[in-house]
Structures are given as structure tokens and as C-alpha cells.
């Protein structure tokens, strides 16, 4: 008896399925299953994924000595995603886990492995994002400095989120020392300080740079954001307002003002800002981006009349 035949029989018995029951699930005759298990014939190759799914193993396991079954089909799909890193395999695994959760049938190992699934996904996505940022920066370094720094800041944000904020700050400090006449490197440094949880340093950097580059709206935005983090609201709004004056299309400052008005309990002013943001985005043809501020405006109005 070859490995495939032996495995089909052993796995079927482990699942407590009769040949008739397995045949019904596959849409074949029980005689077909019997012939597979006795090496008379082989299953159609198109049936192998379904057989693997029923037995809770990978297709490759059907041809290996003594494959170990998984506790659930969700755990099998976790193994598939670990190998493939394909988004569709991740979503398929999530769906199977959620079926277990809804049915109240998940074990502690299911919950653990569900976490592992997302850990794998996060690590894979970080790797993909880092590679994409590097490619974009390589392409734009000389041809499009604006795009280069925009991408660099997105990369810094990601690195700060995964605990590399201190290293980012040191790198940006060195860059600012090397090119002190470039306002973009000061914006990069303020960005690194802010997102690495150093608002005092971010504000100090912005104030120092604004003395030399008073027309740089981004510096005003970061100065305002740092003041907000430090609860210095009276200092924050002049910076944000100046950023909007310098560039009416610069939406970051308006988002910051709207959030801050809400934090201060000034829901009527927050609602007006959110509504204005939504209208500006719609005017630019950014319908999807306009949804969130429109919803925020409604929430703030509800607070006004609560």
C-alpha cells in the first residue's frame, strides 16, 4: 500500500468517517474511496484540496509518512498562510477562526493560533511596507525630493510604531546636522521626535527651524501637534491656523484642529471644522476620504444637543 492510500485510510478513520460518508462529502461513490484506499486507483487531482480540508492537513501531507492532523481547519489554513503569505489565504484562515468563535467551539489553542496568524500577517506586511518605502525613496531621491521626504516620513512612522523611534530620531538628527539649510530635514526630525513620543523635542525643533524657515507650513503643523500633546492649546491653534494660511489645501492642520476642539469639549466648533474638511475633500473628488470627517461632524453635533 502506497503512502497516499495508507494516509487516506488512516485519516478517514481518525475523523471517524465511513467510506460512504467521505464519498458523500466529495461527491463520488463509496467504491471510488475503497479503490483509493486499496491502491486500485488514485483520486482526481482536483479532489486533493478538498480531501486535505476534510482531514485537516495540507495537500502535501497526504503524500508524506504519517501526517499529523490539525485540531481544526482554521489551524490548517494558518499553516497554508504561513507558507504562502497570500492575502486570500490569510482571509480564508480568518473566516474559519471566526466560524469557531461564533459557534463557541474555539479552544485555547485556537485563540493562540489566531494570534499567531495575525502576528505572521503583521510581520509580512511590515516587510512588504519597508521594501516598498525603500523602492519609492530610491526612485524619488533625486527626481522628486517632495515624494522622497513624504515617503521617508511614512517610513519613520512605521518604524516608530514598531519601537524604532529612538533610532529614527538619531538618524534624523545626523541628517539635520549634515544639511542644516534644507527645511525638509528639519521637518523630518520634528516628525521623528513627535511620533517617537518626544513632543518637547519636536516643539523645540520646530521653533528653531521656523526662525529660519517661517513659511514652512509643515513645521507649523508639527509645532501645533506637539503643543496639543503638551496640553498647550493656546499655543497650538496659532500654528495650525498659520499652516492653513500658508497652504489652504494642507488638510493635516485642519484635522488636528478638529480633533483638538473635540478634546476640549467645543463640539460645535469641532463639528464645523469636520464639515469643512468633508466639503474640501469632496471638492477634490476624494469621496471615500470625506466619509470619516462627515461622520465625525455628525457625532460632534450629537454631543452639542445631548
What is the residue-wise DSSP string for 231-295?
T-HHHHHHHHHHHHHH-TT-HHHHHHHHHHHHHTT-HHHHHHHHHHHHHHHHHTT-HHHHHHHHH
- What top-level class would CATH report for the domain 163-247? mainly alpha
What is the number of other CB atoms lying within 10 angstroms of the CB of residue 150? Answer: 15
- pLDDT at residue number 67: 60
pLDDT band for position 1 (cuts 50, 70, 90): low
Q: What is the pLDDT of residues 78-104, one digit of tens each?
A: 998 998 999 999 999 999 899 899 999
Q: Which residues contact 169 (CB under 8 A, 6 or more apart)?
A: 189, 192, 193, 196, 198, 201
Instruction: Please check the confidence at residue 27 and state whether its pLDDT lies above 80.
Output: yes
User: Measured between alpha carbons, how far is 281 from 285 in angstroms, rounded to an integer?
Assistant: 6
Instruction: Please check the confidence at residue 10 and state whether its pLDDT lies above 70.
Output: yes
User: Measured between alpha carbons, how far is 214 from 246 in angstroms, rounded to an integer?
Assistant: 10
Q: What is the pLDDT of residues 99-123, one digit of tens each?
A: 899 999 899 999 999 999 999 999 9
Instruction: Please check the confidence at residue 180 and state whether its pLDDT lies above 70.
Output: yes
As a whole number, mean pLDDT of residues 237-261 equals 93
- In contact, 206 and 182? CB cutoff 8 Å: no
- In contact, 241 and 235? CB cutoff 8 Å: no
- pLDDT at residue number 178: 97
- pLDDT at residue number 147: 97
Q: What is the CA radius of gyration of the chain?
A: 29
pLDDT band for position 210 (cuts 50, 70, 90): very high
- pLDDT at residue number 306: 57
What is the number of other CB atoms lying within 10 angstroms of the CB of residue 247? Answer: 15
Q: Which CATH architecture has domain 1-69?
A: Orthogonal Bundle (1.10)
Q: What is the pLDDT of residues 184-205, one digit of tens each?
A: 999 999 999 999 999 999 999 9
What is the number of other CB atoms lying within 10 angstroms of the CB of residue 88? Answer: 10
Q: Which is higher by pLDDT, 59 or 166?
A: 166
For the chain, give percent helix, strand, coil, nearest 5.
75, 0, 25
**1 exposure class (CB count in 10 Å sphere: 0-12, 13-18, 19+):** exposed
pLDDT band for position 142 (cuts 50, 70, 90): very high
pLDDT band for position 267 (cuts 50, 70, 90): very high
- In contact, 206 and 218? CB cutoff 8 Å: no
Amino acid at each position: 500500500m502506497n503512502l497516499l492510500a495508507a494516509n487516506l485510510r488512516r485519516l478517514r478513520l481518525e475523523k471517524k468517517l465511513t467510506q460512504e460518508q467521505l464519498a458523500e462529502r466529495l461527491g463520488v461513490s463509496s467504491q471510488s474511496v475503497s479503490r483509493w484506499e486499496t491502491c486500485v486507483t488514485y483520486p482526481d487531482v482536483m479532489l486533493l484540496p478538498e480531501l486535505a480540508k476534510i482531514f485537516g492537513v495540507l495537500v502535501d501531507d497526504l503524500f508524506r509518512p504519517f501526517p499529523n492532523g490539525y485540531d481544526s481547519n482554521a489551524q490548517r489554513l494558518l499553516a497554508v498562510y504561513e507558507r504562502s503569505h497570500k492575502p486570500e489565504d490569510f482571509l480564508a484562515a480568518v473566516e474559519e477562526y471566526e466560524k469557531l468563535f461564533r459557534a463557541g467551539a474555539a479552544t485555547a489553542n485556537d485563540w493562540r493560533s489566531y494570534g499567531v496568524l495575525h502576528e505572521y500577517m503583521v510581520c509580512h506586511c511590515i516587510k512588504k511596507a519597508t521594501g516598498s518605502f525603500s523602492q519609492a525613496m530610491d526612485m524619488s531621491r533625486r527626481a522628486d525630493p517632495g515624494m522622497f521626504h513624504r515617503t521617508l516620513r511614512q517610513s519613520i512612522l512605521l518604524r516608530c510604531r514598531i519601537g524604532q523611534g529612538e533610532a529614527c530620531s538619531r538618524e534624523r538628527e545626523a541628517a539635520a546636522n549634515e544639511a542644516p539649510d534644507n527645511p525638509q530635514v528639519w521637518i523630518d526630525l520634528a516628525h521623528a521626535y513627535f511620533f517617537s513620543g518626544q513632543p518637547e523635542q519636536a516643539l523645540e525643533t520646530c521653533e528653531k527651524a521656523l526662525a529660519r524657515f517661517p513659511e514652512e507650513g509643515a513645521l507649523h503643523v508639527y509645532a501645533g501637534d506637539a503643543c496639543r500633546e503638551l496640553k498647550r492649546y493656546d499655543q497650538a491653534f496659532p500654528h495650525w491656523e498659520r499652516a492653513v494660511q500658508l497652504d489652504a489645501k494642507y488638510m493635516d492642520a485642519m484635522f488636528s484642529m478638529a480633533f483638538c476642539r473635540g478634546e476640549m469639549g467645543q463640539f460645535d466648533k469641532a463639528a464645523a471644522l469636520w464639515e469643512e474638511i468633508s466639503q474640501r475633500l469632496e471638492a477634490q473628488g476624494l469621496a471615500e476620504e470625506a466619509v470619516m470627517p462627515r461622520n465625525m461632524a455628525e457625532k460632534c453635533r450629537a454631543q452639542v444637543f445631548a
